[in-house]
Amino acid sequence: MKTNIFSIATAITLGASAVWGSPSSSEKRDSITPITVKGNAFFKGNDRFYIRGVDYQPGGSSKLADPIADADGCKRDIKKFKDLGLNTIRVYSVDNSMDHDECMKALADAGIYLVLDVNTPKYAINRADPQKSYNDVYLQYIFATVEMFAKYDNTLAFFSGNEVINSGNSSSAAPYVKAVTRDLRSFLRARKLRHVPVGYSAADIDTNRLEMAQYMNCGTDDERSDFFAFNDYSWCDPSSFSVSGWDQKVKNFTGYGLPLFLSEYGCNTNTRKFEEVSSLYSTDMTGVYSGGLVYEYSQESSNYGLVKVSGNDVKELPDYDALKTAFSKTDNPKGDGDYNQTGGANACPPKAAPNWDVSSDSLPAMPAPAKKYLTEGAGKGKGFDGDGSMEAGTESTTTATAGSGEVSGATSTSTSSSSKGAAPGIKVPQLPMTTVVVGLVTAMSTLFGASLILL
């Protein structure tokens, strides 16, 4: 049987794609550069990346809708995103039974990244009963979401939770939030998906924000987050870097080993001029912070909107012009913004009840029935119509062994030891042998010509 060498090359290429776990060329959704982590900063290729974004959930919590599944609405709003000078949006809930290709491609074509919360109102950790709500039904749902969105190069990050800890008493749920973060990272590695950074969005409280940040960056490498974010409304115009207290937060987080950004900001107590933008993207803060997300794009009941959406009509509100002006006159720092190149883990915070009620560094083990998703995949998501997970499924009954979240043969090469000085950046995976063979075949075809035939 005679086989053209280019047929062999094609077959090997397809095989390599399957081993690598990335979409084949025919399935590639976009051509935007994925964001990675180095030290305590995000990078786009070799360039420091600062998040300039908005929180995007038209309809708000009272009218649950998936803006990424609404291609027409998405394209309508992309025009405003570009006009504002945004590079990122945050979406709080998506329906993982829907298709998102069209909107994600349109966002990528516009150079816009997505930070995605994996939870929904019905599938989340319940701070009042975290052990019961951390179960296999819940993990199947969020794994399905991650599996769906990891294929897009413009998925910047996943939030494992949002404001689960909102008081001293609720800090007892912290081990479950951290376990979810560990599980999402393990799932990405086990399924050989792109290692999209995974982290947590903390509430705007001083009670235990710093402790939560330290907690998400302590322990073995598999237990640590890829970044940490928090909501911050303490700068209310007119204000300043020192009057707002942002100078003290920079001081508190100096030396922190993970990328840090604001998952919500933009106090609306007074007229918003977004004066904080000039500080957030200055070297006063960029050694610690990597930008932030303004709350919020559309006008909802809380009156934080930049625009008012009515069908296909989008009306710009005064805050829209204020933010556009603030962004347009504020450049990113030149160079690397004085980021912490080393990064690394910190010690776990000691128990300090009632504000920090976590007495052990140990985490709950992944619920036994959920482990099959690491090898078989999550399957189809239940979407917004699902029954929910807080009262369903098998909960965790054991404590995990430190380092058990590591996956043999995973795309991440981090070790299970506790990192004291190593940067927590996303590791570059080793090339599989099939990729090397493709390169050899390509070289041979170039050398001998397209007419070469193998007998």
| HEC string for 113-179 | EEEEECCECCECCCCCCHHHHCEHHHHHHHHHHHHHHCCCCCEEEEEEEECCCCCCHHHHHHHHHHH
- Let me know if 264 is a catalytic residue: yes
- Let me know if 163 is a catalytic residue: yes
| Helix or strand (DSSP H, E) at 453 | strand 453-454
| Cα–chain center distance at 413 | 20
**Do the beta carbons of residue 74 and residue 67 sit within 8 Å?**
yes
Which CA distances in Å does 44 have to 36, 96, 226? 7, 27, 16
User: Rounded distance, CA 92 to CA 166, Å?
Assistant: 17
Structure tokens, 97? 């039974």
HSE (side-chain half, CA atoms, 13 Å) at 312 = 2
Closest by alpha carbon to 365, among 128, 127, 131?
Answer: 131
Residue that has been written with the tokens 């590079």 in this structure: 87
User: Rounded distance, CA 450 to CA 8, Å?
Assistant: 12
Which CA distances in Å does 178 have to 76, 133, 267, 275, 277? 37, 14, 29, 34, 30
The torsion angles phi and psi of 51, rounded to 5 degrees, stand at -75, 120
Q: Which one of 147, 211, 264, 276 is the catalytic residue?
A: 264
User: Rounded distance, CA 270 to CA 194, Å?
Assistant: 42
* Strand extents, DSSP E, 233-283: 260-265
* SS3 label, residue 74: helix
Q: 157, exposed or middle or buried, with CB in 10 Å at 0-12, 13-18, 19+?
A: buried
Identity of the amino acid at 207: T
**Which positions are catalytic?**
163, 264
